[in-house]
Amino acid sequence: MAYQNIETEFKDGLGTITLNRPPVNVLNIAMMEEINDQLKAWQGKKDLKVVLFDAKGKCFSAGVDVGEHMDGLAPKMIEVFHGMFRLMDALEIPTVASVFSSCLGGGCELAVFCDLVIASQGAKFGQPEIQVGVFPPIAAQIMPRIMGRKAAMDLILSGRIISAEEAMAMGLVNKVVAEDELESATADFVKPYLKLSAEVLRKTKKAIMAGLRDDLEPSLQIIEDIYLNELMKTADAQEGLKAFLEKRKPEWKNE
């Protein structure tokens, strides 16, 4: 199926979703619905071994469309955005992100939620949401489990941007390669998994997740409730989002 904001391919066990919404792959509802549509189409596909997220344009993704947090769209945006992660989780097969340049906000959440991440040396990772008066729900759920509580607190509470090398040191990235080698290195990176049994990969990933004793759904439901029914009702969340769209500094009321 042809999409407007993504490109997809399935070949030899590898399902690829390429972000292609110029110039910086901002994830709007329409784009995320396309991603979800493809992930739904791959549910139960027995010969699917790996799902790869990569991107065209200037960067992997600058994040979720801030404007779609406003005017009552937040519940729909969260539903569609979190739908991606629920569908990725339901696939039960390895997911990989191939990242270059900016990988921020919702784009960063998409990348680090993947089981494996390969990045170019110039890639930058970060969750700057707090600087516009909100927080990243998926990062709040998964980052402490990937990198530990203190490192996750640092990134999410500060909103600072880190290099690919620092992200690798923190456990968010598996491998960092030269800028001009990312495409070929990604192909080499996923190749070993494509030689294996899809069903064995599923069962093995399921066992690893069971070993963590950490299901996505219960904690994500609580985080969603905090985001939609507490955070989005604060004056400062609305002010931060408006200030971003109006290209000015927010004036916090601390309420």
Task: Determine the Cα–Cα distance for residues 14 and 43; give it in Å rounded to an integer.
Answer: 14
Task: Determine the Cα–Cα distance for residues 134 and 228; give it in Å rounded to an integer.
Answer: 10
The two tokens of residue 90 are 């339901």
Query: What are the respective helix, strand and coil percentages of the chain, to the nearest 5?
Result: 55, 15, 30
Rounded to 5°, the CA angle 213-219-220 comes to: 125
> Tokens 């994500």 label which residue?
220
The radius of gyration of the chain from alpha carbons, rounded to an integer in Å, stands at 18
Q: What length is written for the chain? A: 255
CB distance 46 to 82 below 8 Å: no
- The DSSP element (H or E) to which 39 belongs, if any, is helix 29-42
**Catalytic residue set:** 109, 129
Q: Which amino acid is at 247?
A: K
Rounded to 5°, the CA angle 189-192-195 comes to: 145
